[in-house]
A and B are shown apart, each in its own frame.
Chain A
Amino acid sequence: MASVETMRTPTAGDNSVQAFDVERVRADFPVLQQSVHGKPLTYLDSGASAQKPKAVLEAMDEVYRTCYANVHRGAYYFSQHLTDRYESVRTKVAGLLNAASDQEIVFTRNVTEAINLVAHSFGNSLSAGDEVIISEMEHHANIVPWQLLRDRVGINLKVVPIADDGSFRLDAYESMLGPRTRLVAITHTSNVLGTVTPMKEIIRLAHKAGALVLVDGAQAVVHSKVDVRDLDADFYAFTGHKLYGPTAIGALYAKAELLKEMPPFLGGGDMIRSVSFAETTYADPPHRFEAGTPPIVEAIGLGAAIDYVNGIGMEAISAHEAGLLAYATERLSAVEGLTIYGRAKEKAAIVSFTLDGIHPHDIGTIVDREGVAIRVGHHCAQPLMERFCVPATARASMGLYNTTDDIDVLVRALEKVKELFG
Chain B
Amino acid sequence: MDDLLRDLYQEVILDHGKHPRNLRHPEGANRQARGYNPLCGDQVTIYLVEDEDGRIADVAFEGKGCAISMASASMMTEVLRGKTEAEARRLFDDFHRLCTEDGFTLDQAYAEDREALERLQVLSGVRAFPVRVKCATLAWHAMTAALDGEGQATTE
Chain A residues close to B by CB (< 8 Å): 37, 357-362, 365-366, 369, 376-378, 382, 385, 391-392, 416, 419-422
Contact = CB atoms under 8 A, between A and B. Distances in A.
B40 interface: yes
A369 B40 contact: no
Contacts of A362: 9, 66-68
A37 B2 CA distance: 10
Nearest to A422: B14
Contacts of B41: 377-378, 382, 385, 391-392
Given A362-B68, A369-B2, A420 B9 contact: yes
Tell me which of B1, B41, B64 has the highest count of chain A C-beta atoms within 10 A of its own C-beta. Answer: B41
A382 to B, nearest CB: 7
Contact of A416 (B1, B4, B68): B1
A365 B18 contact: no
Given A362-B9, A362-B67, A366-B9, 7 more contacts: A359-B67, A361-B65, A361-B66, A377-B41, A382-B41, A416-B1, A419-B1
A359 B71 CA distance: 12
A382 B36 CA distance: 14
12 contacts: A357-B18, A358-B67, A359-B66, A361-B40, A361-B42, A362-B67, A365-B132, A366-B9, A391-B42, A391-B43, A416-B1, A421-B14
Interface of B is mostly: mixed
B39 interface: yes
Contacts of A361: 40, 42, 65-66, 68, 132, 135
The 8 closest A-B pairs by CB, nearest first: A359-B66, A361-B66, A378-B41, A361-B40, A391-B41, A377-B40, A362-B66, A362-B67
B131 to A, nearest CB: 8
B65 to A, nearest CB: 6
B8 interface: yes
B67 to A, nearest CB: 5
Contacts, number: 57
Contacts of B9: 362, 366, 420-421
Interface string B1-43: 1101100110000100010000000000000000000011111
Contacts of A419: 1
Contacts of B8: 365
A10 to B, nearest CB: 41
B107 to A, nearest CB: 30
Contacts of A382: 41
Given A361-B42, A365-B132, A419-B1, A391 B67 contact: no
A360 B40 contact: yes
Contact of B129 (A365, A376, A422): A365
A111 B129 CA distance: 32
B7 to A, nearest CB: 12
Contacts of A392: 40-41
A420 B66 contact: no
B147 to A, nearest CB: 26
A355 B68 CA distance: 16
Interface in B102-145: 129, 131-132, 135
Contacts of B5: 365-366, 369, 420
